[in-house]
Amino acid sequence: MFQGTDVSILSLDDLNYADEIEETGNTFEENALIKAREIFERFRKPVIADDSGLNVEQLNGEPGIYSARFAGDNCTYDDNNKKLISVLKKYPEPHFAKFVCCAVFLSNENQFVEYGFLEGKIINSSTGKNGFGYDPIFIPNENGGIKTLAEYTLEEKNVISHRKRAFEKLKNQIKKLRE
């Protein structure tokens, strides 16, 4: 993501940080900032963090920040997909949804927050083997809206990803600091 810049990225593994950071915020932004602040306080280095999930229009934005545990604690991706399909059965199609990513940069002097979105719709059965999470039941509007994210290759998915969009914006903010 930061190729072509002089920014060096260290992962939490690189820092030998394995603690679970509790996401207690009410929004993607609050959760991303909680993670960034925790790591910044620990290492005193500039930090990039994110939070993301799926917002479904007919469910007033749910599962939202609870996307990873929509079907309960310790649930699988398949459990989440089945629950979402079940909940949406009482609503007419199409089931408009969007993936949301909030990416943040935090340092001593700066804090940037950027969002990326991928709009599409939820379908009633899983299709495709690639990806993870809600990918098998989400058809993005891009490329004619004819296949689920799980039918995209990783390279194809990364071109349209909500995360890519958020991090590209964040990268541009960071580049401005270095000019």
Cross-strand pairs, 122: 95, 138
Per-residue pLDDT tens over the stretch 92-126: 999 999 999 999 999 999 999 999 999 999 999 99
H-run or E-run covering 64:
strand 63-64
- Model confidence, pTM: 0.94
Given 51, 73, 78, 79, the catalytic residue: 51
In a domain, 12, yes or no: no
Q: How far lies 48's CA from each of 33, 101, 137, 166, in Å? A: 9, 13, 29, 11
The answer to whether the bond into 94 is cis (omega within 30° of 0) is yes
User: Residue 90: which domain range?
Assistant: 28-177
In this structure, what CATH number is given to the domain that contains residue 127?
Answer: 3.90.950.10
Per-residue pLDDT tens over the stretch 4-42: 667 788 999 999 999 999 999 999 999 999 999 999 999
Number of structural domains, the chain?
1
In a domain, 18, yes or no: no
Q: Is 79 a catalytic residue?
A: no
